């Protein structure tokens, strides 16, 4: 029988793979991985493949970064959101308020948990507009999922105020936001549970899929330990029928290794973003998103709003610069959202932003020369 192959890289990555200034830095990042391979060899000799010592060690190190009491390693960022919702008791028909300007996974996790996504427009900081949340609350609303887009924390003080007033749960989609801070508090400390992704191009990445849930609630932590591992309290006793979404031991080794460098990774991204800010803000056709002194934005993505977006993207790509769109179609207009009855015009800022944004490579392997080249090419385009 002929097998259909679905293991493709999305076209957008394949077609830009050979650009000289690229979003993808994995070859450089892992060009010397002897330390990781040595640890993997040790693991293989022990056969400790499932939720063993290395996963414990990884979780302890991760919680030092998030400064939360507990962390649970799971299969992906998507699973982190899904398991959080399940462990918090989300049921069929519940409504969850979130942003229409996010990655598909936020909504996928809501829907697969049985709930209905209810969108609220964003502001020009790309995050949910807190002024619009209350009017979306109904008797079925159970939770809010703020998405800290590109590593910029949402207005969590206000979101938590609303959640307390209306007795709602809060789950942070912190998939872009490891190490990000708002008024000195780190992502992970503003909610019932916060969800991180370690997908290969995230600020903290592994060699495949991986995710982490951070929480300060011991009760939720204990539930999550059950939910990620079949609901087992030991080999023979299942307390609740649940899921299998464990952080893989090999990925825990990779994650642990990179966690040692997370501050330097974060700082490089911040410095690169500041350099772009300084130079690009002088160009009248470009709008730099608002920055706030009391925030530590960690720039999983460096996103600006530009005039003639599609032409600029083509021009940059034809000059060897990997300019991407994260993302061109908001969630409420995706075919998968059809059943929720949203229409074009419902969330004007998300729609406007999707048509005018461009992301430039900002990772730690971009050199000043490369940044200068990006800036020069953008200047030339608008000349």
Segment contacting ligand PLP by CB under 6 A, of 70-78, 110-118, 131-139, 354-362: 70-78
**Any idea what DSSP says for residue 117?**
E
Among 24, 84, 106, 319, binds ligand PLP (CB under 6 A): 106
Interface with ligand PLP, residue 366, by CB under 6 A = no
Interface with ligand PLP, residue 70, by CB under 6 A = no
Residue 59 sits at φ, ψ, to 5 deg, of -65, -40
Contacts (Cβ under 8 Å, ≥6 apart) of 150: 126, 176, 297, 299, 300, 301, 302, 303, 326
Nearer to ligand PLP by Cβ, of 176 and 309: the residue is 176
Nearer to ligand PLP by Cβ, of 195 and 375: the residue is 195
Residue nearest to ligand PLP (CB): 77
Supply the minimum distance, in Å, between the C-beta of residue 206 and ligand PLP: 9
Nearer to ligand PLP by Cβ, of 76 and 229: the residue is 76
Alpha helices in the chain (DSSP H): 11-16, 26-29, 34-46, 53-66, 77-87, 104-112, 156-166, 218-227, 249-259, 262-280, 309-318, 348-356, 368-382
Among 59, 95, 121, 173, binds ligand PLP (CB under 6 A): 173
Interface with ligand PLP, residue 23, by CB under 6 A = no
Among 58, 62, 82, 103, binds ligand PLP (CB under 6 A): 103
What residues from 203 to 232 belong to the interface with ligand PLP (CB under 6 A)? 209, 211
Q: Which H/E stretch holds residue 73? A: strand 70-74
Contacts (Cβ under 8 Å, ≥6 apart) of 345: 351
Interface with ligand PLP, residue 77, by CB under 6 A = yes
Q: Count residues contacting ligand PLP (CB under 6 A)?
A: 15
Nearer to ligand PLP by Cβ, of 68 and 245: the residue is 245
Neighbours of 238 (CB within 10 A): 14
Supply the minimum distance, in Å, between the C-beta of residue 139 and ligand PLP: 27
Interface with ligand PLP, residue 330, by CB under 6 A = no
Segment contacting ligand PLP by CB under 6 A, of 72-80, 126-134, 216-224, 255-263: 72-80
CA distances from 374 to 66, 128, 170 (A): 33, 30, 39
DSSP secondary structure string for all residues of 118-157:
EE--B-TTSSB-GGGTGGG--TTEEEEE-B-GGG----HH
Q: Give me the helix-helix angle, 34-46 and 249-259, nearest 10°.
A: 150
Nearer to ligand PLP by Cβ, of 152 and 377: the residue is 152
Supply the minimum distance, in Å, between the C-beta of residue 80 and ligand PLP: 7
Among 102, 127, 191, 249, binds ligand PLP (CB under 6 A): 102
Supply the minimum distance, in Å, between the C-beta of residue 42 and ligand PLP: 26
Interface with ligand PLP, residue 175, by CB under 6 A = yes
Q: Is the omega angle on the peptide bond into residue 108 within 30 degrees of 0, that is, cis? A: no
Contacts (Cβ under 8 Å, ≥6 apart) of 24: 13, 16, 17, 201, 322
Residue among 354, 351, 340 at smallest CA distance from 107? 340
**Residues found near ligand PLP in the complex (CB under 6 A):** 76-78, 102-103, 105-106, 147, 173, 175-176, 197, 199, 209, 211
């Amino acid at each position: 029988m002929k097998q259909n192959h679905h293991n493709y890289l999305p076209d957008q990555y394949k077609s830009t793979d050979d650009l000289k200034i690229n979003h993808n830095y994995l070859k450089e990042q892992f060009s010397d991985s002897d330390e990781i391979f040595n640890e993997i060899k040790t693991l293989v000799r022990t056969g400790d493949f499932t939720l063993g010592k290395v996963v414990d060690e990884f979780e302890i190190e991760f919680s030092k970064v998030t400064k939360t009491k507990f962390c649970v390693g799971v299969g992906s960022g998507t699973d982190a959101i899904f398991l959080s919702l399940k462990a918090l008791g989300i049921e069929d028909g519940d409504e969850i308020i979130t942003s229409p300007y996010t990655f598909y996974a936020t909504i996928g996790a809501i829907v697969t948990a049985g709930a209905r996504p209810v969108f609220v427009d964003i502001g020009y900081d790309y995050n949910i507009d807190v002024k619009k949340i209350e009017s979306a609350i109904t008797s079925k609303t159970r939770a809010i999922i703020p998405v800290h887009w590109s590593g910029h924390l949402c207005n969590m003080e206000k979101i938590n105020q609303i959640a307390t007033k209306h007795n709602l749960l809060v789950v942070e989609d912190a998939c872009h936001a490891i190490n990000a801070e708002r008024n000195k508090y780190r992502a992970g400390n503003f909610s019932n549970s916060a969800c991180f992704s370690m997908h290969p191009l995230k600020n903290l990445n592994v060699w495949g899929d991986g995710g982490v849930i951070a929480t300060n609630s011991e009760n939720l932590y204990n539930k999550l330990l059950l939910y990620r591992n079949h609901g087992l309290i030991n080999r023979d006793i299942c307390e609740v029928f649940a899921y299998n979404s464990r952080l893989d031991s090999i990925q825990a080794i990779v994650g642990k290794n990179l966690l040692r460098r997370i501050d330097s990774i974060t700082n490089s991204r911040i410095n690169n973003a500041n350099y772009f800010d300084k130079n690009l803000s002088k160009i009248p056709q470009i709008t730099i998103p608002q920055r706030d002194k009391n925030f530590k934005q960690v720039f999983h993505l460096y996103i600006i709003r530009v005039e003639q977006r599609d032409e600029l993207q083509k021009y940059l790509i034809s000059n060897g610069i990997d300019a991407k769109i994260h993302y061109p179609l908001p969630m409420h207009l995706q075919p998968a959202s059809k059943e929720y009855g949203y229409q074009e015009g419902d969330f004007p800022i998300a729609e406007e932003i999707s048509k005018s944004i461009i992301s430039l490579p900002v990772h730690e392997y971009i050199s000043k020369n490369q940044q200068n080249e990006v800036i020069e090419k953008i200047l030339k385009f608008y000349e």
